[in-house]
Homo-oligomer: A and B are copies of this chain.
């Protein structure tokens, strides 16, 4: 397989995977493109390589910055801005864990805590409370796990996991 074929397959696979995880395909593809780019790319470069519109490129680039996965990069003497991805994949994983925790797990934990206050005076309500408290533990577990990933140092993390789960 040539480099060009491999790159195309990577962009395509990454986009598909993202879709399954509720992430917009283009955003994932821009991220993938920047990940494998040896040098900073301009919005124009991204538009050309992925054949997408200026508006689309701009929106998704901003979203990626918002997720902390890419950064603006200014070249001296150049007017327009360039973009670089965080290349350390473990840092990327930690950043994603951090954001998902903040954006998704925390709000859910809040709602669950609130639901636990509801009356439990009928068979249905009692069953309901059981389910909610079960979900709360699982969510708490997910939260701790993601937090562990967030706090972990690059190599330390896998070592710890391997120790426990061989």
Whose C-beta in chain B lies nearest to the C-beta of A124? B38
User: Does B131 contact A36, Cβ atoms closer than 8 Å?
Assistant: yes
Q: Oligomeric state, in number of copies?
A: 2
User: Does B20 contact A104, Cβ atoms closer than 8 Å?
Assistant: yes
Q: Which of A40-48, A63-71, A74-82, A87-95 forms contacts with chain B?
A: A87-95
User: Does B141 contact A158, Cβ atoms closer than 8 Å?
Assistant: yes
Name the interface size band of chain A: 35 or more
Chain A contact surface mostly: helix
User: Does A38 contact B111, Cβ atoms closer than 8 Å?
Assistant: no
For residue A59, CB closer than 8 A to chain B, the reply is no
The smallest beta-carbon distance between A122 and chain B, in angstroms, is: 6
Binding site for B on A (CB under 8 A): 1-3, 5-7, 9-10, 13, 17, 19-23, 35-38, 87-90, 92-93, 104, 108, 111, 114-115, 117-125, 127-128, 130-132, 134-135, 137-138, 141, 144-145, 147-148, 157-158, 160-165
